[in-house]
Amino acid sequence: MKDASTRIPCRALAAGWLGPLAALALAGCSGPVNNQQGYMPEQPVAFSHAVHAGQYGLDCQYCHVGAEKSRHAGVPSTSVCMNCHTQVKTDSPEIKKVAAAVAENTPLAWVRIHRLPDHAYFNHASHVGAGLECQNCHGPVQEMVRVEQKEPMTMGWCLDCHRETAAKQVSAPPPSAPRSGELLALSSGVPAPEPLKAPRVLQPPTDCSSCHR
Amino acid sequence: MSDPLPKYWQSLAERASDPGFLTQAQDEFAEPLPVGVAATPPDANSRRDFFKLMGLSAAAAMVACQRAPVQKIIPYVARPDEVTPGLALWYASTCNGCSARCGLLLKTRDGRPIKVEGNDEHPVSRGGVCAVGQASVLSLYDASRARFPTRDAKRVAWAELDADVTQALREASDAGQGIRVVLPWHLGPTAEAAVKRFLAAYPTARTVRDEPLGELAAIAEAHRVTHGVHAVPDYRFDKATVIASFGADFLGTWVSPVAFTRQYTEARDAAGQRKMARHYQVEPMMTLTGAAADRRFVVAPSELRLVLADLVRRLAVKAGRELPGLPSAPPLTLEESAKEELAEALWAQRQGALVVAGGDDVATQVLVNAANALLGSEGRTVSLADGTALDADALSLEALLTELRAATVGAVLFLGANPVYTDPRGEELAALLKQVPLTLSTSDRRDETVVHVGLHAPEPTALESWGDAEVRRGVVSLRQPAVAPLHETRSAVESLLQWAGAPQPHYDFLRARWEAEVFPQAGGVSFSAFWDDALRRGVVLLPVPLAEAPAFREEGLAKAWKGAARPPGEWELVLYPTVAVRDGAPANNGWLQEVADPITKATWGNPACIAPARAKALGLKDGDVVKVRAGDRTVSVPVLVQAGTHPAVIAVPVGYGRTHAGRVANGIGVNAYPLTAVREGRARHAVPGVTVEATGARQPLALTQTHHRLEGRPHVREAELAAFLANPRAGNEVQAGHGGGGHSLSMWSGHEYNGHRWALAVDLSACTGCSACVVSCQAENNIPSVGRDEVLRRREMHWMRIDRYYQGDEANPQVVHQPMMCQHCENAPCETVCPVLATVHSSEGLNQQVYNRCVGTRYCANNCPTKVRRFNWFDYPHDEPLERMVLNPDVVVRSRGVMEKCSLCVQRIQETKAAANREGRPLRDGEIQTACQQSCPAKAIHFGDVNDPDSQVARLAKDGRAFRLLEELNIGSSITYLTKIRNTGSGSGA
């Protein structure tokens, strides 16, 4: 701060134009901050969920493997695409992009659509395990040619569902519900995992620290 | 109950009601707002910067009206089978932080190690990890590490370096010149096999073992004298019924502190066993171990051996044995009654007794062996058969220097040793190295020794490399990497094999050796199944056949008596390792620099401890710089007046004053190693006859205990064993004006907890104050290190601290350690004053801090009676991309201007709850472990649900020893503390 006095004009100038700018910024804003409802960016590969999930009925978790065991549902590694596309539609220019990515060992950089702020911790596994359909939050993905954020994904929207579920005393899926663990066990011949006990009543938390920590 | 409350004090200044201290302690925050004042890191704030930021945020606000910035998701091209993004992978491994080699579990997320925890299955360390082990994950990402091999400080390819080394070694060997490999005592069986192979390839090669503080060397040498084997025995404090330690800081730094802490806690579990081993500590300065002792005698370092000799004499008399050359009792400062009490207590227990001694004096260790032999505790509390043999053919550093002076050495290879820094002869060594044709170091950084050698072949850290260890006979553990080497490094084992002309990857060599040597001992059908299981568990228990250890021989004893008496000089210098920085090897680590020393509470520096009486006589105060002169060496160091120090002693920690450790440690504190004496060719860290003179200069000490003051309220409670056995609530009675008694009226309506209610129980009897929990918490919760200047401003960020209380005589006080974290009060004073509801109560009893609501009024910190809230004065720098890798992705990184505090590891609660829900089962008690609880070597911390009546915390909360802080204020703390039990034998004659 040794030359503070020499800075005064500069500061005055700065304050002069910053004020109106800030006011302008505030006035221009409407709607909740960070609400990206309707966001539908272009992706590096024109992948259609309508074809894969809709027309061919692929299970969401065939590609999004983390959904029932991890915080992140995850975007499939490029090699997963090639499980089919070494045979299917190999001439398509879009598939060629994917094949090239695998050949060059460079990952595809997808544009993130559904995004919570860094201070919010969402756990996919808990929600899938509670019996929520992917579409509850992500909208009718199986109809989307290009994926779009359908829901507001704000804290209020999360809490509405949590409160409603708690009020309605909803149960978790019954023990007989197929889970990939059992399916895998059936197909590979190993003993099936213990079935779930009596259905539990869902108690979606509304504590701050459930999501913020 | 008519007794007045014991008077506890946290610092000498507080005890004396020093006016300066009182003024300073009066305010919550050390000084006015820092804007524009603090020109020191993390950033200099000028008004201009403020306006720039204003402009930027206005612009950002406009952008936010449109869209958030585009983020990319970059998946794997081919995902490794075991990796699921968002899920942690754990690897069992072995610590390499010191020679104790504790069992570890390394937590990795998305391929990067983020946390070190203890391996519960390891039978020696049993789930504990110390601060150094915890911090090793930060050292992995240390930006000051060497990134490639060099020749004369210039980058070189490995092949080129290997060609140079092989040629030089061959030339040296052909010319009959010596090849010397300087390395620490323990590298693990496989690495030792590689060393042997190297020695076999070059007939003139020999090992030189370098141990900065010479403790293992002294123990092994003494056993060579008394038992004919060069080995360190296996100590079993858990089997001891009385423990006498002569200056051995076995809970802090000596041999295997984590394992010893757990054993010690078990031997002293008064509540569980209805008895506890009594612990005598005879030492010149206050150590962590001395602080835990029941009876502590303060003795000058030069008299330690005399007291021990006197004890051996008394034991011999009791045993009716004649020992050769037995001297008469020399006059000592320690009273006759104390000496007889000690001998009597040990003799009463005989085989259950355990005598240990610290330091580098061989004669002292010989006397320890004599004491244990007389007591008959050999094979019980101290077992040579289960111990570890040390290289008996190794040369000493003095022998190497002699050879270097005679110019008969053609090559010197330093393998994980840094003697130029750690040895008083370092300067001479550095000069002599210049004329050696091949000099090389494998250090992980360009340290003080590397700058004097020609070639640098850097090693990866323990988290990136393979290895093994055998810490007790039959307990063999594996070290496996949790990540591929970050830099162009190569393990020393691989380097040695390469230079020995038998190149082999470390992994292949290790696996082959295990197949040939370990597997046959373990038995079994398939080696690959055995190997996989060993990797998964991290440790293998081999059957141990009964082994007869060689018996004690009296011949060596005569020598130990000789020269025992030395006229004490005016001052005696003690050079000692601290619990965090040890010998200085892990110094370049912000977590270890910032964790307060458990005794001195000093951070970022190594003040010299002197006794209060001596300080008063000389008019020295905390922070007065003195000049310590030993022979022709001088070091200037600030003093710290430390209760419990012998008046003749000035005790200075080693490991500081590094010049080539890296950007964190360089220039922090002063290097005390040059003051080390050299006698009979050995470096000696107790130096008599030093001079100390005041310089008049002052250097403020970054101490933490005087921060966050608790206004003299009685927060700790203790009882004597006999009283406790008679009355489980002893020491814990409701004191007039303090403590429980129930509140019939409350201003608060209370909370309803229908599900869980989380709580902690902390056993003050078990806690030794080692501070492993503090570093564990820091690692788990992304807590920044703030640096010396900010600690001086009382702005350290630790969510938990260990409060140290003294009681009694300042020449030899009793000490209580109390881990202090957010108390998660039922009627939390912080919650009522927050104007923006940023701190609120959860339905499970947590006091939640909501960072994104916090506006930084700091009212909550002001109103917190336990002073556990921390304010982010800055955006603490995470400017080094490599060092950012250590951050835990499950916990947010707080920004400037918000308050933070202990969350009871809510991320762990949520994760475990979610897992239990998915599996459709209730939570098991003990399934959730907080970070502090997990690494506690003493298992003093318990976490759980008090609403579950069968849980351990619920049981402990109803225990007779249970008390809560500030019950008279009706804050309703969720943390239960358990009264400390002592076994001093005073009072009702225990």
Q: Where are the domains of chain B?
A: 8-19+706-732+758-982, 150-212+392-541, 231-389, 566-698
pLDDT of residue B227: 94
Residue found by looking up tokens 């359909």 in the block: A133
Residue found by looking up tokens 């009675």 in the block: B733
Q: What is the pTM of this model?
A: 0.91
Portion 77-106 of B in contact with A at CB < 8 A: 77-79, 84-87
Contact (CB<8Å) A28/B62: yes
Distance CA B642, CA B411 (A): 46
Q: Which residues pair with B117 in a beta bridge?
A: B105
pLDDT of residue B568: 60
Distance CA B398, CA B680 (A): 9
Domain assignment of residue A210, yes or no: no
Range of the domain at A57: 49-75+110-175
Distance CA B587, CA B661 (A): 7
Domain assignment of residue A163, yes or no: yes
Given CB atoms, is B66 within the 8 Å cutoff of chain A? Answer: no
Domain assignment of residue A123, yes or no: yes
pLDDT of residue A68: 85
Q: What is the mean pLDDT of each run of 10 residues along chain A (213 residues)?
A: 37 41 42 72 95 92 89 92 93 94 94 91 90 91 94 94 92 59 54 61 91 92
B593-596: long-range contacts (C-beta < 8 A, 24 or more apart)? B593/B664, B593/B665, B593/B668, B593/B785, B594/B778, B594/B785, B594/B786, B594/B787, B594/B791, B594/B796, B594/B798, B595/B131, B595/B771, B595/B774, B595/B775, B595/B778, B595/B798, B596/B703, B596/B704, B596/B705, B596/B771, B596/B774, B596/B801, B596/B802
DSSP track, B506-549 = HHHHHHHHIIIIIHHHH--S-HHHHHHHHHHHSEEEPP----PP
Q: Which chain B residues are Cβ-neighbours of A197 within 8 angstroms?
A: 920-921
Domain assignment of residue A40, yes or no: no
Amino acid at B615: A
Distance of residue A55 Cα from the nearest chain B Cα, in angstroms: 25
Contact (CB<8Å) B840/A203: no
pLDDT of residue B264: 97
Domain assignment of residue A4, yes or no: no
Domain assignment of residue A195, yes or no: no
Taking domain B8-19+706-732+758-982, whether its CATH number is 3.40.710.10 is answered by no
Taking domain B150-212+392-541, whether its CATH number is 3.30.2350.10 is answered by no
Contact (CB<8Å) B892/A126: no
What is the CATH architecture of B231-389? 3-Layer(aba) Sandwich (3.40)
CATH topology of domain B566-698: Barwin-like endoglucanases (2.40.40)
Distance of residue A57 Cα from the nearest chain B Cα, in angstroms: 23
Residues in chain B with pLDDT < 70?
A: 1-6, 22, 24-28, 30-67, 326-332, 561-569, 706-712, 714, 734-744, 987-990
Given CB atoms, is B527 within the 8 Å cutoff of chain A? Answer: no
| ipTM (interface pTM) | 0.85
What is the number of alpha carbons within 13 Å of residue B884 lying toward its C-beta? 8
DSSP track, B846-881 = -EEE-TTT-----HHHHH-TT---EE--S------H
pLDDT of residue B330: 66
Distance CA B465, CA B482 (A): 8
CA B545 to chain centroid, in Å, comes to: 34
Domain assignment of residue A136, yes or no: yes
Q: Which residue of A has its CA nearest to B53?
A: A18
Domain assignment of residue A65, yes or no: yes
Eight-class DSSP state of A46: -
Total number of domains in chain A: 1
Portion 875-894 of B in contact with A at CB < 8 A: 890-892
Residues B447-500: pLDDT tens digits?
A: 999 999 999 999 999 999 999 999 999 999 999 999 999 999 999 999 999 999
| Angle in degrees, CA B430, B432, B438, rounded to 5 | 90
pLDDT of residue A174: 59
